[in-house]
Structure formats: C-alpha cells, structure tokens
C-alpha cells in the first residue's frame, strides 16, 4: 500500500527520512570493541537520519582503522591491545596500508581495486570537504561510478543533467548524497566483515558492555512509524505529564 506523507515541519521530514532509510541499512558487524563498532554505528546512524556526508566520512575512517589494526596485529584486538599508536600509524596513508595488506591472509577475499579506488577518490583528503570533487571522481572511476548514478545515462536523462549532478554542491544534498552513501556503506561494511573474519579477533567484553548492547539494539530495532511513536511516547511518560 502506498503511503502519502503530509509533512509540515522538520520533525515530520526527519521521520520520513528515517522510515525510508531504515530499509537500506547495512547489516551489523560482529562485536569486536568500541573503536570499531561504535564508529560503524555512527556512520550507519548518520545515514539513517539523512546526514550522508557524515556517514561517508565516518565509514571511510573505519575502513582505514580496521585495516591498520588487522595489518598490525591479526591475533589481538580490544581495549588493551598491545600496539602503540606509533605502530598502528607506521604505514602512512591508506594506500600504503593496502599495499602492506596485499598478499597477507587478512586481505583474502577483499576487492583490492575497490579499496584503492576508495583510497584515491573517497578517503582522499581533498574529497572530504569538496563534494563536487567527490562526485566527479566517483563518476570517473569504474569501481565507484555506481555510487552516484541513480539512473542509466544517457538513456533516461539528458547529459546536461548528469553533468550538473556531479558538479553541483546542491545535488549531493538532494539525492546524490543518499544514493552514494547507501551503496558505499553496504560495500564498506562487507569489506570490513571479510577482514574481521580473516583475523583471530575475539570480541572484547571486558568493559563497556552497555555499548555492545546499544550497538545491537540499533540494528535489531523495528524502525516502523508505529514502533517509533511508541518508543517516543513511552520515553516521555517517564518524565510525567
């Protein structure tokens, strides 16, 4: 059944965004420790509420973080990891970390071309804050072009529309940002999942147990209008009338 929204304020628009985006959330990762899972949650949560640039940046940070940890120590990962920040950071850029990972068992099953494309075009520092640059670079890369193509071109759209789609700041905050972050978050989550499976990491539950519970609660929550209304109502009742 088709739903017709009657949005009169920002709260209504946010609810509409949540309901729509909840259908496209990536699956949760196995719990490892807060620096991994909470950053993943921050990225996916940002996507849920429509903060697409934040979602992309957080996920690109997580990709590099997880790969660095795995390259440095595939046996141990947790709150009391033996490595220093100097050891974790010794490989320089993400491109250097990818080169270090290639040929190691932690990278088996990963898509090297995708990782290098992300390193050059999304994780690249100039793309962090220049949205048109980010869109154009993705459009020009065979591994990433799917992130910004809502329709097949030029069959369904004029080429002039597509050219504006990848050069206009406003287009990112209209549809391009959602389209890109939706697919990027899914692919990145699955690449991270492969790396985690290739390690011997055991989830650290020595502390911050509530954060592990909160992480899984997000991914198991029923993001329906009725359930959201009930959650809001039940929370408000705790404050009294």
Q: Is residue 3 part of a domain?
A: no
Give the single-character DSSP code of 33: -
Is 41 within a domain?
Answer: yes
User: Residue 223 falls within a domain, yes or no?
Assistant: no
- Rounded distance between C-alpha atoms, residue 176 and residue 147, angstroms: 8
pLDDT at residue 155 greater than cutoff 60: no
Whole-Å CA distances, 116 to 122, 126, 153:
10, 16, 25
In a domain, 138, yes or no: yes
pLDDT value of position 158: 62
Between 54 and 7, the higher pLDDT residue: 54
- Count of CB atoms within 10 A of residue 150's CB? 14
Across the range 117-122, mean pLDDT stands at 92
- Residue-wise pLDDT for 24-78, tens only, equals 999 999 999 999 999 999 999 999 999 999 999 999 999 999 999 999 999 998 8
Distances (CA, A) of 123 to 29, 86, 208: 21, 21, 29
**Range with the largest mean pLDDT of 74-78, 111-115, 156-160, 205-209:** 111-115
Backbone angles phi, psi at 118, to 5 degrees: -65, -40
Task: Name the band, by pLDDT with cuts 50, 70 and 90, for residue 144.
Answer: very high
Residue 12 has pLDDT above 90, yes or no: no
Question: Which of these ranges, 2-11, 192-201, 205-214, 215-224, has the smallest mean pLDDT?
Answer: 2-11
Q: According to the model, what pLDDT value does residue 149 have?
A: 73
- pTM equals 0.89
**What pLDDT is stored for residue 172 in this prediction?**
84
Instruction: For residue 81, tell me if it sits in a domain.
Output: no
- 58 in a structural domain: yes
* pLDDT reading at 241 higher than 60: no
- On whether residue 224 sits in a domain, the answer given is no
pLDDT at 189 over 90: yes
Question: Quick check: is 121 in a domain?
Answer: yes
Domain residues for the domain of 48 are 32-72+86-215
The tally of domains found in the chain comes to 1
Mean pLDDT of the chain: 87
> Which residue, 182, 212, 128, is CA-closest to 17?
182
User: Percent of the chain at pLDDT above 90?
Assistant: 54
């Amino acid at each position: 059944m088709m739903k017709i929204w009657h949005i009169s304020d920002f709260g209504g628009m946010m609810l509409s965004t949540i309901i729509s985006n909840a259908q496209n959330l990536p699956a949760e990762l196995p719990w490892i420790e807060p620096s991994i899972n909470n950053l993943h949650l921050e990225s996916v949560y940002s996507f849920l509420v429509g903060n697409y640039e934040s979602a992309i940046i957080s996920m690109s940070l997580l990709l590099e973080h997880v790969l660095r940890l795995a390259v440095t120590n595939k046996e141990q990962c947790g709150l009391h990891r033996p490595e220093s920040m100097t050891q974790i950071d010794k490989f320089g850029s993400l491109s250097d970390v990818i080169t270090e990972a290639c040929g190691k068992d932690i990278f088996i099953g990963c898509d090297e071309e995708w990782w290098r494309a992300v390193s050059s075009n999304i994780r690249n520092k100039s793309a962090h804050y220049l949205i048109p640059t980010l869109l154009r670079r993705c459009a020009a890369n065979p591994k990433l072009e799917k992130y910004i193509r809502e329709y097949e071109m030029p069959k369904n759209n004029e080429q002039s529309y597509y050219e504006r789609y990848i050069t206009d700041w406003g287009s990112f905050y209209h549809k391009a940002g959602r389209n890109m972050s939706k697919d990027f978050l899914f692919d990145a989550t699955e690449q991270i999942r492969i790396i985690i499976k290739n390690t011997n990491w055991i989830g650290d539950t020595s502390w911050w147990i509530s954060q592990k519970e909160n992480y899984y609660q997000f991914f198991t929550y029923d993001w329906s209008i009725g359930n959201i209304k009930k959650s809001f109502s039940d929370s408000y009742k705790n404050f009294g009338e």
